[in-house]
Amino acid sequence: MSAYLNGEFLPLAEARISVLDRGFVFGDGVYELVPVYSKKPFRLDEHLRRLQGSLDNIRLANPHGVAEWRELILRLIDLQDFADQSLYIQVTRGTPDEGQSPRDHAFPKGVPPTVFMFAQPLVTATPEQKAVGVCAVTAADNRWLRCNIKAISLLANILLRQQAVDADCAETVMLRDGFLTEGAASNIFVVKDGVLMAPPPSNLMLTGITYDVVLELASAHGIPHEVRVISEAELRAADELWMTSSTKEVMAIVKLDAAPVGAGVPGPLAQRMDGLYQAFKQQVMRT
Ligand code: PMP
Q: Is 51 helix (H, G, I), strand (E, B) or coil?
A: helix
pLDDT at 35: 98
Ligand 1 site, residue 206, Cβ cutoff 6 A: yes
Angle 269-270-272 from CA coordinates, rounded to 5°:
60
Give me the phi and psi of 35, to 5 degrees please: -75, 140
Query: Pick the catalytic residue: 150, 248, 255, 281?
Result: 150
Q: What parts of the chain have a pLDDT lower than 70?
A: none
pTM exceeding the 0.85 threshold for the entire prediction: yes
pLDDT at 1: 85
Ligand 1 site, residue 152, Cβ cutoff 6 A: no
Ligand 1 site, residue 114, Cβ cutoff 6 A: no
What number does the ligand 1 atom closest to the CA of 213 have? 14
Contact 30, 147 (CB under 8 A): no
Q: Is 27 helix (H, G, I), strand (E, B) or coil?
A: coil
pLDDT at 225: 98
User: Ligand 1: which residue has its CA nearest to atom 8?
Assistant: 185
Domains of the chain, CATH where assigned: 2-121 (3.30.470.10), 127-286 (3.20.10.10)
Q: How far is the CA of 20 from the centre of ligand 1 (A)?
A: 28
* 281 has catalytic annotation: no
pLDDT at 166: 98
Ligand 1 site, residue 51, Cβ cutoff 6 A: no
Q: How far is the CA of 119 from the centre of ligand 1 (A)?
A: 17
pLDDT at 284: 83
Q: Which helix (H) or strand (E) holds 115?
A: strand 114-121
Ligand 1 site, residue 36, Cβ cutoff 6 A: no
Q: How far is the CA of 63 from the centre of ligand 1 (A)?
A: 23
User: Ligand 1: which residue has its CA nearest to atom 13?
Assistant: 208
Ligand 1 site, residue 54, Cβ cutoff 6 A: no
Q: How far is the CA of 189 from the centre of ligand 1 (A)?
A: 13
Q: Provide the 8-state DSSP code for 153.
A: -
Contact 3, 15 (CB under 8 A): yes
> Of the candidates 199, 88, 207, which has an alpha carbon nearest to the alpha carbon of residue 148?
207
DSSP-derived pairing of the beta strands 2-5 and 114-121: antiparallel
User: Ligand 1: which residue has its CA nearest to atom 2?
Assistant: 185
